[in-house]
Structure 1
Amino acid sequence: MFVNRDYIYSTFVLLLLASISLVCASNHHKYKNGDVIPFYVNNVGPYSNPTETYEYYSLPFCQPDHIKYKKSKLGEILQGDAAVLSNYNLPFKISIKEHTLCEYTINKQEIERFKKAIDEYYYAEMIYDDLPIFSFIGAVDRETDPENPRYFLYHHIPFEFEYNNDQIIKININTANIKATELTSSEEIKLKLTYSASWAPTNYEFSKRMELYEEFFSKELEIHWLSIMNSFFLVVLLTGFLSIIIMKILKNDYSRYSRNDEEEDSDYQEDYGWKLVHADVFRFPPHKNLFSSFYGIGWQFLIIVCGILLLSLFGMFYPNNGGNMYTAGIILYALTSCISGFQSAKMYKNMGGDKWAWNIVLTATLFIVPLISVVFLSNTVAVTWHSTVALPILTILEVLTIWLFVGFPLTVIGGIAGRRLSGPFEVPCRTKNFPREIPPIPWYRRLPCQVMMAGFLPFSAIYIELFYIFNSVWGHNSYTLYEILCLVFIILLIVTACITVALTYFQLSMEDHRWWWTSFINGGSTGIFIYLYSIYYYIYRSHMYGLLQTTFYFTYMLIVCYFFFILLGTVGFLSSLIFVKRIYKNLKSD
């Protein structure tokens, strides 16, 4: 009940803020004929490296006399937003045939900078009425003379606007009418940058205008329903088959144990299997503090993912504005910190722990410290490269303040509540003082082999969806099929629980009672497979390159996989705990 209240409260707050922002946005995006609307230029960067972005005027474009920066929201800053007010003048519903932006001369060094950017397929992002506009800065011709390619800089941009009464619905660039200037090997080149504007009415609703921006770049996000359903039915069959086998084996075990208990003749044979470890199966694992902290954080992460998925179903996240998801994640992490504190302290008390202060500190820092380390490393590289993805120091302080004054205190409050409200750890079997000796275990039943089996099956259920998610996060596609994502996440939890329970049973059948940490590691092993897939995706599916992009990709993917390791490890352990209590309770009742 404690968890549910916190989850409902945080979700209600986020939905309320989303509704208010939506109403305010609709009211403040209405214009009259001829109204001047600010036009911002945001970032430039190589198309293959979405994370590697730089300020627009880092290239030798003509700058306005007085550069003014747009005040970005937290989510936009987290995405590397560095919007600057430009000297484009595009009044509402005023058609422009051709207007000069500026005329200036670039020297040989600036020509080479443009050539290098065009060679790496740099594209620019601009913002008008909070709508994104994307455009490559030029083109290169390698076919005419491969040894001496020709470079062309776009000097005329034809904007096309669609409006519904007094609101702007869509902005596009007519690529057929773009004009270019060839960048030769001259010492100087005179540039004349121009633009035009055309306006056309549409009946599309303002509230759905962001849905039109899924097609900015070539979209490959068309989910193959047949593949998804194939994975779904495969998982259902495998888990059903596994469940039937376990149930049948358990039934035979109960029959055998019951038969042996009733036999009193000389032909009595000694028992074997999981019954023999009933006095050790609930023996607490080593490193109780660390285990309970992982367990509590896993509960928190489960609530966070469910909250984000729920918000996505309500339409809070839309294409080309992933910053909202980052903001929601930060808020949910802070508000659900009490859940991790509660569950960790509850488990720690059941284990008989007495270092309460260390338990709270470990729970509060076990994830946030690695995350801060990754952010510091990535930010250092980004600052060195003068990239806009480097988070401003004020933004970092703002996020740390949220954690310090909201997240950490809630963890302390949750820890106190968990310690005082937790009841006794009820188990059906009494634990002996001295542990039973564990017989030799074959190599194929030890932890490394279990990890391979436990991680592969859940990963096989989600790897198709992972490709599209990676394309969205590390590419230019937009992911909007959140209903399918919810279904895949539910399948992931079910498969993780089933495979972990099965491996726990096989471990106990080998008379190995050390299942606590094993079930957690087996459940979280899917995170290892996700990281291995990220390496494959980077090498064979993406075109990313360079130190900056590589650093961001692999460090942040490491944190994401660590996140899912803790989440799925908690699911695996919890399902195994329920299973173990159940089978030994039934054994006791026989």
Structure 2
Amino acid sequence: MRLTDRVSLATLAIFLIFLSREVSSDGSNHRYSTGDAVPLYANKVGPFHNPSETYRYFDLPFCTPEHVKEKLEALGEVLNGDRLVDAPYKLDFLTDLDSKVLCKKKLSVQEVKKFRSAVNKDYYFQMYYDDLPLWGFIGKMEKDASGDPNESKSFLYRHIQFDILYNKNRVIEINVRTDPNAMVDVTEDREVDVEFLYSVKWKETNTPFEKRMEKYSQSSSLPHHLEIHWFSIINSCVTVLLLTGFLATILMRVLKNDFVKYAHDDEAVEDQEETGWKYIHGDVFRFPQNKSLFAACLGSGTQLFALTIFIFILALVGVFYPYNRGALFTALVVIYALTSGIAGYVATSFYCQLEGSNWVRNLLLTGCLFCGPLFLTFCFLNTVAIVYSATAALPFGTIVVIVLIWTLVTSPLLVLGGIAGKNSKAEFQAPVRTKKYPREIPPSPWYRGTVPQMAMAGFLPFSAIYIELYYIFASVWGHRIYTIYSILFIVFIILLIVTAFITVALTYFQLAAEDHKWWWRSFLCGGSTGLFIYGYCLYYYHARSDMSGFMQTSFFFGYMACICYGFFLMLGSVGFRASLFFIRHIYKSVKCE
């Protein structure tokens, strides 16, 4: 077996192992006998409205065991902020417990302050029991009847009730309830004696083991949610049909008239001065300025497009089931690394077609174009997380793993793709010859400028997806679960179609105005939807969410800036490719001397 084949098989094996790993019960087959210990892991605590601001479970002064045993986690789980440790509760299989004492503690003044601060910020806890997630609040605030916030009281729950459903020898469901009659007042700065209790109640169910995760996806599959989802799809489809039909009709009519006019001009008066897009046939394929940056943008956008397609394939086959979000982060890291060869090939091949000479510099620019801003954003946000002592701060070992993936997989594949692109010997296919000297571009009104055109180009694609954006944001930056990936895939296809059509239309109008500098304009117009999505981030943060604090705000706007930048590159590549295909077609259809 050749070395390259071995490397490919090893890479595939690593990828499958990463995706298959999740919050597992130490190799258990999920079958238990009466009295068997069922793995229970405490994960994290944090403010309910700040999903990125999470802390280790024992950062709060709960009943801490003498030896805290941490669970070995997969890459995606660490990136998701999971830090699992053995929980102090004993929930043995089919063993009921009634008000068992977990521990008795005398909370110091500092511990009382910690609990009060956590209660006032709506802290929740999350655990995993036999791979099933469970969560609950650690306390509650009771406002004074007069409405005076200074008179509000903070109470800590001290009794947790676990209700567990089983089917034969398997755990099917677990729910957590807190006893409102068993609370501790932590309003004042004073020492408090508290006795933490927990109860366990087992109940049989007929739900099969294979369907136990369906409970977590039901919230996104309720009839009224599905109705809104399908309404957004129908609305987007109607938008696409009207838009594409409108543009196709106009362009076909206009182009047909143009073809007839130009054919008549050629037959009637050979030396008649040409007007419109045919007039600039000697300049329309003149290579753009900053060709290295343009080729790098095209290569990075194509890689992100391939990454998105692969993620959708995994989602549609059921890899990203509820509360296996670690698999999504793992897939993003691994697939991005494996698709870096696409970026190298596309960028270098197109750069050589544009008669570029320094392909090595172009390859370095391609490798840093998206990873560079992402790395700088990560460094800043990881520093913020370290200052806050949050679980979002990546351990040193995880950072080393990511660096090794970038060094041993991403970079070599990028170089191999670049070498293949350089050796492809492909020539730029232009149906007409480019003249030696560029023609002067006539003055145009303000609304034909780059920024107004970008605004028009980005608004229509954004209007086709904005309804679905709320559900995506509520899942990524909230506690909702998104599972209807088929709808999301349809919306993505609609986004691509609308982006391509609106970019083609604006490119035609630009050429009709005898402006031949369409290369960068088509890319910027195609990618402008990413700017609208970032504008939606501002609206979502202030109007649709309760996020607050410097850390959560930094994480939200920092990582969303990277995501929107990725959309800009990806959709910009789609817009340019569609415009290039259209321009080649129309100039092939007329006789240009």
Per the normalisation by structure 1, the TM-score is 0.94
- Aligned residue for 1:396? 399
Q: Which of 249, 252, 260 is residue 255 of structure 1 equivalent to? A: 260
Structure 1 position 92, deviation (Å): 1.1
State the distance in 2 between where 1:329 and 1:568 align. Answer: 18
State the distance in 1 between where 2:61 and 2:220 align. Answer: 25
Task: Report whether the alignment pairs 1:304 with 2:301.
Answer: no
State the distance in 1 between where 2:32 and 2:127 align. Answer: 20
Alignment of 1:418-429 (within 5 A): 418-429=421-432
Distance 1:7 1:145, change over 3 A: farther
Structure 1 position 222, deviation (Å): 6.9
- Aligned residue for 1:323? 326
State the distance in 2 between where 1:452 and 1:7 align. Answer: 44
Alpha-carbon deviations, 1:35-94, whole Å to 9, x = none? 112322111111110111111122221211111111111111001111221221111111
Distance 1:138 1:323, change over 3 A: same
Structure 1 position 320, deviation (Å): 2.2
State the distance in 1 between where 2:84 and 2:25 align. Answer: 21
Kindly indicate whether the alpha-carbon contact (under 8 Å) linking 1:26 and 1:206 is maintained by their aligned counterparts in 2.
no
State the distance in 2 between where 1:446 and 1:76 align. Answer: 46
State the distance in 1 between where 2:89 and 2:219 align. Answer: 21
Equivalent AA in structure 2 for residue 501 of structure 1: V
- Aligned residue for 2:89? 88
Alignment of 1:9-158 (within 5 A): 28-147=29-148, 148-158=151-161
Kindly indicate whether the alpha-carbon contact (under 8 Å) linking 2:164 and 2:171 is maintained by their aligned counterparts in 1.
yes
Structure 1 unmatched ranges of 5 or more: 1-5
- Find the residue that maps to 2:52 and give its secondary structure: coil
State the distance in 2 between where 1:501 and 1:564 align. Answer: 18
Between stretches 284-293 and 233-242, larger displacement belongs to 233-242
State the distance in 1 between where 2:18 and 2:332 align. Answer: 14
Alpha-carbon deviations, 1:454-483, whole Å to 9, x = none? 000000000000010000000010100100
- Aligned residue for 2:231? 226
State the distance in 1 between where 2:61 and 2:580 align. Answer: 63
Q: Which of 573, 583, 587 is residue 570 of structure 1 equivalent to? A: 573
Between stretches 458-467 and 168-177, larger displacement belongs to 168-177
Task: Report whether the alignment pairs 1:459 with 2:462.
Answer: yes
Structure 1 position 178, deviation (Å): 7.1
Structure 1 position 216, deviation (Å): 8.4
Structure 1 position 210, deviation (Å): 2.3
Equivalent AA in structure 2 for residue 57 of structure 1: F
Identity, % of aligned positions: 48
Q: Which of 230, 239, 243 is residue 238 of structure 1 equivalent to? A: 243
- Find the residue that maps to 2:591 and give its secondary structure: helix
Task: Report whether the alignment pairs 1:196 with 2:202.
Answer: no
State the distance in 1 between where 2:483 and 2:27 align. Answer: 22
- Aligned residue for 1:503? 506
Kindly indicate whether the alpha-carbon contact (under 8 Å) linking 2:157 and 2:178 is maintained by their aligned counterparts in 1.
no
Distance 1:231 1:10, change over 3 A: farther
- Aligned residue for 1:556? 559
Alpha-carbon deviations, 1:199-255, whole Å to 9, x = none? 122233333322212468999787442233122212211121111111110001111
Kindly indicate whether the alpha-carbon contact (under 8 Å) linking 2:167 and 2:208 is maintained by their aligned counterparts in 1.
yes
Equivalent AA in structure 1 for residue 260 of structure 2: S
Distance 1:261 1:24, change over 3 A: farther
- Find the residue that maps to 1:132 and give its secondary structure: strand
Kindly indicate whether the alpha-carbon contact (under 8 Å) linking 2:348 and 2:421 is maintained by their aligned counterparts in 1.
yes
- Aligned residue for 1:293? 296
- Find the residue that maps to 1:588 and give its secondary structure: coil
Between stretches 442-451 and 162-171, larger displacement belongs to 162-171
Task: Report whether the alignment pairs 1:381 with 2:370.
Answer: no
Kindly indicate whether the alpha-carbon contact (under 8 Å) linking 2:116 and 2:187 is maintained by their aligned counterparts in 1.
no
Between stretches 228-237 and 533-542, larger displacement belongs to 228-237
Q: Which of 581, 585, 588 is residue 588 of structure 2 equivalent to? A: 585
- Find the residue that maps to 2:423 and give its secondary structure: helix
Distance 1:150 1:320, change over 3 A: same
Structure 1 position 24, deviation (Å): 10
Between stretches 512-521 and 55-64, larger displacement belongs to 55-64
Task: Report whether the alignment pairs 1:212 with 2:215.
Answer: yes
- Find the residue that maps to 2:320 and give its secondary structure: coil
Equivalent AA in structure 2 for residue 509 of structure 1: A
- Aligned residue for 1:3? none
Structure 1 position 162, deviation (Å): 1.5
Distance 1:208 1:418, change over 3 A: farther
Kindly indicate whether the alpha-carbon contact (under 8 Å) linking 1:158 and 1:178 is maintained by their aligned counterparts in 2.
no
- Aligned residue for 1:436? 439
Say how many residue pairs are matched.
Answer: 583
- Aligned residue for 1:407? 410
State the distance in 1 between where 2:190 and 2:144 align. Answer: 25
- RMSD of aligned C-alpha atoms? 2.6
Task: Report whether the alignment pairs 1:350 with 2:342.
Answer: no
State the distance in 2 between where 1:54 and 1:37 align. Answer: 24
- Find the residue that maps to 2:158 and give its secondary structure: strand
State the distance in 1 between where 2:124 and 2:333 align. Answer: 30
Alpha-carbon deviations, 1:483-521, whole Å to 9, x = none? 000000000000000000000000000111100111000
Structure 1 position 130, deviation (Å): 2.1
Alpha-carbon deviations, 1:532-569, whole Å to 9, x = none? 00011001110000000011000100000000000000
State the distance in 1 between where 2:66 and 2:56 align. Answer: 17
State the distance in 2 between where 1:443 and 1:12 align. Answer: 56
State the distance in 2 between where 1:178 and 1:472 align. Answer: 33
Alpha-carbon deviations, 1:109-146, whole Å to 9, x = none? 32222111111111011122222111100011104353
Structure 2 unmatched ranges of 5 or more: 1-6
Kindly indicate whether the alpha-carbon contact (under 8 Å) linking 1:26 and 1:207 is maintained by their aligned counterparts in 2.
no
Task: Report whether the alignment pairs 1:159 with 2:162.
Answer: yes
Structure 1 position 355, deviation (Å): 0.5
Distance 1:218 1:389, change over 3 A: farther
Kindly indicate whether the alpha-carbon contact (under 8 Å) linking 1:158 and 1:177 is maintained by their aligned counterparts in 2.
no
- Find the residue that maps to 1:127 and give its secondary structure: strand
Distance 1:66 1:221, change over 3 A: farther
- Find the residue that maps to 1:587 and give its secondary structure: coil
- Find the residue that maps to 1:384 and give its secondary structure: helix
Between stretches 394-403 and 227-236, larger displacement belongs to 227-236
Between stretches 28-37 and 549-558, larger displacement belongs to 28-37
State the distance in 1 between where 2:275 and 2:568 align. Answer: 33
Structure 1 position 11, deviation (Å): 8.9
Equivalent AA in structure 2 for residue 167 of structure 1: R
Task: Report whether the alignment pairs 1:172 with 2:175.
Answer: yes
Kindly indicate whether the alpha-carbon contact (under 8 Å) linking 1:507 and 1:515 is maintained by their aligned counterparts in 2.
yes
Kindly indicate whether the alpha-carbon contact (under 8 Å) linking 2:63 and 2:88 is maintained by their aligned counterparts in 1.
no
State the distance in 1 between where 2:56 and 2:25 align. Answer: 29
Distance 1:127 1:152, change over 3 A: same
